[in-house]
Amino acid sequence: MRRTIHFVSLGCPKNRVDSEVMLGVAERAGFRHVSEAEDASVIVVNTCGFIDAAKEESINTILELSRQKTEGRCEKLVVTGCLSQRHPDELAREIPEIDHLLGSSDMLKLERVLEGKADRILVGDPASWLVQATDPRRVSTRGRSAFLKIAEGCNRSCSFCVIPSLRGKQRSRSADDIVREAEALASAGVVELNLVSQDTVAWGRDTPGAPSLAELVERVAGVAGLRWVRLFYLYPEKLGEDLITLIAEHPRVVPYVDMPLQHAADGMLRRMRRGHGGKRLYELVERLRKRIPGLTFRTAFIVGHPGETDAEFEELLTFVRFAEFERVGVFRYSDEETARSFTIEGKVPKRVAAARARRLMSVQRRISRRKNRALVGSELEVLVEGPSEESELVMAGRHAGQAPEIDGSVYLSGGPVQPGDVCRARVTSASDYDLVAEVLENERLPAGRRQRGAAELLHRASDGRRVLRTVG
């Protein structure tokens, strides 16, 4: 039990990839992953430090797990990621239970920690590392799915964002290295790849020749064994016709666009330093809806940014009703001292921002419910992830319009199906964010038990981002 390790990975899918690299480092060093913190001799918390809520969650998680040093078997508590990159000295001073602190680009330094040859604070330059296909990595996503990080950092200057200071400037991986990792993942059984970075549209601009994102995606989608390729974090400028055509027509690039728009009012977009106005967003939505059949459009908005007026918030509501997005995330503005927006006048009271977030989600919930109910009676291809979180008697999966861990689920009745199967299913009922479907045909029919009670879980499913508590 002295060489066991437990991971908690908080925040975005990019953090998830970093956690998987550290898990690979740990396994290479002879450590066995355990799913329960009380069984671990080493505990690693990969933190998020983007906004207040994420920082609070990270600190609470660290404090909760620090008890394992007296109540469990924990000999080392390691804190990594964006929060430790941002506040290493404060964390070291305020939480003495932390044995080692690594930053957002120090994943490979975990090996030194596990060898017992490391200083307490190992936080380096956030721009010093970029994941490579040769790095050790153990995929943790359910259902033969994986995230593939194609770049790190960001060159933009959005007023509310501190990511460039936490992750450094844009650094793109080479196309060849990305394809090598895609091939390795497919050879290991992965059938769905989700391409992530901080600014995916900007991939390649920092490298000689400025290679084409569309060409990269086409190469990845051509890897034998892959079935779905999905793009995350597209920016609403310079979305080329070649990429739109690829999303619309390639049989393995799913018609799914993830594009955080943040707002729709001209005044707010200027204050946010987004580089475009609301008119472009209306045109963009119309263009994508027209060009991409069966499009699933996910976006995110910030409410309560300094200077946001009631009229501007109403403009945002009007835009959401017009666009009828399939998926929407809503964040309340977080006043970060190192962000440009910190000095902008006209701070919005927290209670006002909270009320706006609730109202926006109420509008979106009705849209989502209507769109989901329209799917009842249709047949969908579903990638089975595994037993649902609510009952091991019911299998859950996703159709192509549902991204892992951030969108809803399809609860399957009938069967038998197993994790990693791809089945054809008919939708029988729907809630705001989830579906129930009956299995019609399974590509692979291993021995399994009939799934029961899927409809009973529908009302208990949530739409929030799932936090990865264990990696493995």
pLDDT in tens, 315-326: 999 999 999 999
Q: What is the pLDDT of residue 389?
A: 82
pLDDT digits (tens, 9 = 90+) for 149-174: 999 999 998 999 988 888 999 999 99
User: In the 8-state DSSP scheme, what is residue 146?
Assistant: E
Q: In b/e form, how buried is each residue of 95-114, taking b as 16+ CB within 10 angstroms?
A: eeebbbbbbbbbbbbbbbbb
Query: Binning pLDDT at 50, 70 and 90, where does residue 382 land?
Result: very high
Query: Binning pLDDT at 50, 70 and 90, where does residue 284 land?
Result: very high
Fold of 4-122: Rossmann fold (3.40.50)
Considering just the CA atoms, what is the radius of gyration of the chain in Å? 22
Q: Which one-letter amino acid corresponds to residue 424?
A: R
Kindly report the pTM of this predicted structure. 0.91
pLDDT digits (tens, 9 = 90+) for 46-100: 999 878 888 999 999 999 999 999 998 999 999 999 999 999 999 999 999 999 9
Query: Binning pLDDT at 50, 70 and 90, where does residue 393 land?
Result: confident
Query: Binning pLDDT at 50, 70 and 90, where does residue 468 land?
Result: very low
Query: Binning pLDDT at 50, 70 and 90, where does residue 142 land?
Result: confident
Q: Contact at 8 Å (CB) between 215 and 246?
A: no
- Note if the bond before 416 is cis, omega within 30 degrees: yes
Percentage of residues of the chain with pLDDT beyond 90: 81
**CA-to-CA separations, 313 to 26, 274, 303, 432, in angstroms, rounded:** 47, 17, 8, 23
Which CATH number does the domain 379-460 belong to among 1.20.140.10, 2.40.50.140, 2.60.40.10, 1.25.10.10? 2.40.50.140
Q: Contact at 8 Å (CB) between 57 and 45?
A: no
- Which residues, in sequence order, are CB contacts of 25 under 8 Å at separation 6+? 107, 108, 110, 111, 114, 136
Spell out the CATH class of 145-373. alpha beta
> What are the residue boundaries of the structural domains of the chain, listed by start?
4-122, 145-373, 379-460
Determine phi and psi for 299, rounding to 5 degrees: -145, 175
Q: How far apart are CA 255 and CA 246, in angstroms?
A: 9
Q: Is the pLDDT of residue 291 over 50?
A: yes
Q: Is the pLDDT of residue 281 over 60?
A: yes
Task: Count Cα neighbours of 133 within 13 Å in the Cβ-side half-sphere.
Answer: 14
Query: Binning pLDDT at 50, 70 and 90, where does residue 465 land?
Result: very low
